[in-house]
A and B are shown apart, each in its own frame.
Chain A
Amino acid sequence: MYVSVQNEFFDFSAEVKKFSESLENVGALVTFTGIVRGQKSKTLDYMFIEHYPGMTEAQIKIIIEDSFKRWKINDALVIHRYGKLEPGEPIMMVATAAQHRKEAFEAAEFLMDYLKSRAPFWKKEVVNGKEHWVEAIAADETALSRWR
């Protein structure tokens, strides 16, 4: 399991390479990368992500442990950034490795759904110099019901 909560930019191709080289006897590797949507000085100046140091890392580990119980996963990786992020920059990535693709895909989706509404991150968007906190949407909560 690899978990990193960081302010620094990450290179997802380098992270995938490192992750894949650590694996043995794997038949499927699924990755997802979330990117800051929007166009600079048009729809988004920048995004700011706040988090709860300590709880964030612990909560992500709990979510990954839970995925290990549900699917036959060899390993999983979660990187999530905080702080100021520009449009086009990577926000977070998830990678799952398994013997077969179904497990890897489902576990990756599960991790994504839970990271969205159970890991203590809060996004603020700044548009035309005005800032607002992104509100959680009902669909994010509904997405979790699929896994219950």
Chain B
Amino acid sequence: MIDLIYFSWIRERIGKSGESIETKSSTVFELIDELRQKDTRYFEVFSDLGSFRVAINQELASFDAPLIGAKEIAFFPPMTGG
């Protein structure tokens, strides 16, 4: 099981702050593709790869990163701290 966590408008548009899933995806990109198939909300949220970032186990990761060892995967828009 992998915990997915959503922040900011991603959380609002999907309608939940996170969920646990079973996946056969081997990379972040495959997982995004899998999520897109779930329903139209997911499809719309994850349609533009330039609009969000991903972190694996609380570290920023690229879309081609492997999911080996991934316990927690977070999706969020570009950060706006400071």
> Which residues on A are within 8 Å of B, measured CB to CB?
34, 49-52, 54-55, 58, 80, 91-92, 112, 115-124, 133-136, 141
Contact = CB atoms under 8 A, between A and B. Distances in A.
Interface of B: 5, 7-9, 55, 58-60, 74, 76-82
Contact of A115 (B58, B76, B81): B81
B75 to A, nearest CB: 11
A73 B55 CA distance: 29
A133 B81 contact: no
B74 A136 contact: no
B80 A116 contact: yes
Contacts of B8: 50, 122, 124, 133
Nearest to A119: B81
Contacts of B78: 117, 135-136, 141
B66 to A, nearest CB: 19
A127 to B, nearest CB: 16
Nearest to A131: B12
Contacts of A117: 78-82
